[in-house]
Amino acid sequence: MAAWVWLVVAAVAFGVEMSRQDLYVLWFGIGALVAALFAPHLLLAGAVFLAVGSGLLWALRPRLARRLLPPRLPDPVEALVGREAVVLRPVGGEADFSGAVELDGRRYAARALDERTAPIPAGTVVTVYAIDGVRLVVHPLRAPAPPAGEEPLA
């Protein structure tokens, strides 16, 4: 394969990298430039292209990505996990759809993480444990006092 073919591959790779800016294709563009030096030997040029591209991708991308690429923003819904909320309407278990909590001034449907703590009474401070569809899965920070005659939850 002629050297110009490898130069075209490099130009295409650099063009794709400029449009995507994710630091994946750049390394194979560099590999194509190096492979152009070995153009008369097709198998050697192909091996050099793959070795240089893969090697640079593995060795340099993680470090450069941390420095050059913007940090990944968390999904706003995922950001609710671990936060504290206040129960507005008693929160029941899996089958109860009437529970509601307030978090950052917004009202969310909620269900209890553990059926043994349900229903969680209004006014209880809870922690958001997970998201289940459109409902927050919550657990009380301090388990409510058990009814008379029952053992407290561990």
The per-residue pLDDT string of the chain (154 residues; one tens digit each, 9 = 90 and over) reads: 688 999 999 999 999 999 988 889 999 999 999 999 988 888 999 999 999 999 999 999 999 988 888 887 777 777 888 899 999 998 887 777 788 999 989 999 999 888 777 788 888 899 999 888 888 999 988 655 555 555 555 4
Write down the pLDDT at residue 109. Answer: 92
Six-digit token pair at 94?
A: 């899996």
Write down the pLDDT at residue 40. Answer: 87
- Mapped onto helix, strand or coil, the DSSP state of residue 104 is coil
Amino acid at 106: R
Tokens 């009437």 belong to 98
Tokens 């492979």 belong to 35
Write down the pLDDT at residue 119. Answer: 84
Six-digit token pair at 22?
A: 């994710």
Q: Residue 46 belongs to what H/E stretch?
A: helix 42-68
Q: Other CB atoms closer than 10 Å to residue 101's CB: what's the count? A: 26
**C-alpha 73: how far from chain center:** 8
The Cα–Cα gap between 11 and 26 comes to 10
Write down the pLDDT at residue 18. Answer: 92
Write down the pLDDT at residue 152. Answer: 52
Burial of residue 120 (number of CB atoms within 10 Å: 0-12, 13-18, 19+)? buried
Question: Which of 78, 85, 77 minimizes the C-alpha distance to 141?
Answer: 85
Q: What is the pTM for the complete model shown?
A: 0.49
Write down the pLDDT at residue 144. Answer: 52
**C-alpha 147: how far from chain center:** 41
Write down the pLDDT at residue 55. Answer: 95
The Cα–Cα gap between 11 and 15 comes to 6
Q: Residue 20 belongs to what H/E stretch?
A: helix 3-20
Q: Which domains does the chain have, with CATH numbers?
A: 3-68 (no CATH), 78-140 (2.40.50.140)
